[in-house]
Amino acid sequence: MSLTPNNIEEYCINHSSQISEVARSLMNFTRSEVHGSRMLIGEMEASFFKFLIHLRRVKKILELGTYTGFSSLIMAEALPRDGEIITIDINPHTTEIAKKYWAQSPHGKKIKSILKPGPEALSEIKEEFDLVFIDADKNNYSYYLEWASNHLSENGFIITDNTLWSGKVLQAGVDKQTDSIREHNQKAFELAGFTKTLLPIRDGIFLITRTPKEN
């Protein structure tokens, strides 16, 4: 889902860094063969994520919501040789597809998959991350945000996807998922000691980073 007109988004994609051949074939396969392919981050976010990863010299990423592994692969491609991603999902079928495509990329070895519900997987992870990407079940978005804000490295940041939810977030009480995203957005807004920006890119991307100590 994108809030930007198609022709504008296409122009932006065509003038941004391009995705790899493996990532393109994974995206095409997902779109033609896998249920729910509109969940993919797509090419617009892909170039934006790569830009942020390079800008911040990110080395360690935690992703919630692997799906068919497109966003994991995009981020792995942007990492340095010794970079790593842990990605979490509950769906063994889509994770199998992801692994098949990661194996075709030299960057696939940077990705470690955990097949467990997000909260359970996170309870076993004690490390810090340079980037936490939240893109799994919307009902746990606030929990994921809180966990992420406590597991960021000094320069770390959080990206939460679908935070405009096709514009539905403007209204309370539409449905449970929308209310969960609204709660996440409010909590993110209120996070003390962090700088935040909610951008209307695609379906809404929330960026959250520690405010530098000297500010």
Ligand X SMILES: C[S@@+](CC[C@H](N)C(=O)[O-])C[C@H]1O[C@@H](n2cnc3c(N)ncnc32)[C@H](O)[C@@H]1O
User: Which residues of this chain interact with ligand X, rule CB under 6 A?
Assistant: 39-41, 65-67, 70-71, 88-91, 94, 117-118, 135-137
Q: Which residues contact 21 (CB under 8 A, 6 or more apart)?
A: none
The least distance separating ligand X from the CB of residue 23, rounded to whole angstroms, comes to 10
The least distance separating ligand X from the CB of residue 9, rounded to whole angstroms, comes to 16
The least distance separating ligand X from the CB of residue 84, rounded to whole angstroms, comes to 17
The least distance separating ligand X from the CB of residue 215, rounded to whole angstroms, comes to 31
The least distance separating ligand X from the CB of residue 154, rounded to whole angstroms, comes to 25
Residue 63 host element (H or E) = strand 60-64
| Residue 81 Cα to chain centre, angstroms | 20
CB closer to ligand X, 64 vs 208: 64
CB closer to ligand X, 72 vs 149: 72
The CA distance from 151 to 130, in Å, is 9
Contact 88, 114 (CB under 8 A): yes
Greatest Cα pair distance in the chain? 50
CB closer to ligand X, 77 vs 210: 77
DSSP state of 81: T
CB closer to ligand X, 41 vs 205: 41
DSSP state of 157: E
The least distance separating ligand X from the CB of residue 211, rounded to whole angstroms, comes to 27
Residue 62 host element (H or E) = strand 60-64
CB closer to ligand X, 26 vs 210: 26
Question: Is beta strand 60-64 parallel, antiparallel or unpaired with respect to 84-89?
Answer: parallel
- Torsion angles phi and psi, residue 88, rounded to 5: -120, 135
The CA distance from 198 to 210, in Å, is 15
CB closer to ligand X, 32 vs 215: 32
Contact 145, 182 (CB under 8 A): no
